[in-house]
With several copies, the nearest count.
Chain A
Amino acid sequence: MAIRVQADDFDIGAELAALTEGDASIGGVTSFIGLVREMGSGPSAMTLEHYPGMTERQLAEIEAEANRRWPLQASLIIHRYGRLEPGDRIVLVATASKHREAAFESCHFLIDWLKTRAPFWKLEETAEGSQWVEAKDSDDAAADKWQQR
């Protein structure tokens, strides 16, 4: 289990290799990479604000919950903050398990819960000035489906 909150980019290949290093009981690794999307008219950068301290605590709680629900050999969450441009990586979530179902479900769970619980806020740079991104109902719905299990 590992959590990192950082301004810098990360090396996907190195991170995923380190996740499984030395544990040959792992049969599958599922990962999700979130990227800054170009919105509507032209490139728009954004700045990610977060709540230092609470962020790490919430991510650790979400990761611990995934480890309670699924038999995981390893897990990793890296989330960036600061100014990011379209195409930049925002987040990496990865889970490793003996079997692929557990890896898929736990990885999906982590990103869904992170989206509604980890204290990050996106400030988008638009042609009309900076604008705080509004939370999406679809994110709440995605997180809720894991409550019903």
Chain B
Amino acid sequence: MKLLYFAWLRTKIGVSQEDVAPPAEVRDVASLIGWLQTRGPNFADALKNPSVVRVAVNQEYVRPGHPLAAGDEVALFPPVTGG
């Protein structure tokens, strides 16, 4: 699974992308975020308030209950501020 981080999520976590193999109990977006929070203080800090984290799976916006598959591209980022 490919993870991408943008904007302040990227700067807080300290990497822009990585390949991960989450444990089997990570079946949806919400449980992915729960697992990521345990991966270190940088992750815990960046993801401490999941309600301000937007998630896209394969470049489409999804909700926390969205199921995940091994080959997915999952992006985490704050609310957008372009335009």
Binding site for B on A (CB under 8 A): 34, 48-51, 53-54, 57-58, 79, 90-91, 111, 114-123, 132-136
Contact = CB atoms under 8 A, between A and B. Distances in A.
A131 to B, nearest CB: 9
Interface residues of B, number: 18
Contacts of B56: 51, 54, 119
Interface string B54-83: 001001110000000000000101111111
Contacts of B83: 34, 79, 90-91, 111, 114-115, 118, 120
A51 B81 contact: no
Contacts of A54: 56, 59-60, 75
Interface of B: 4, 6-8, 10-11, 56, 59-61, 75, 77-83
Nearest to B10: A49
B58 to A, nearest CB: 9
Nearest to B59: A54
A17 to B, nearest CB: 20
A135 to B, nearest CB: 3
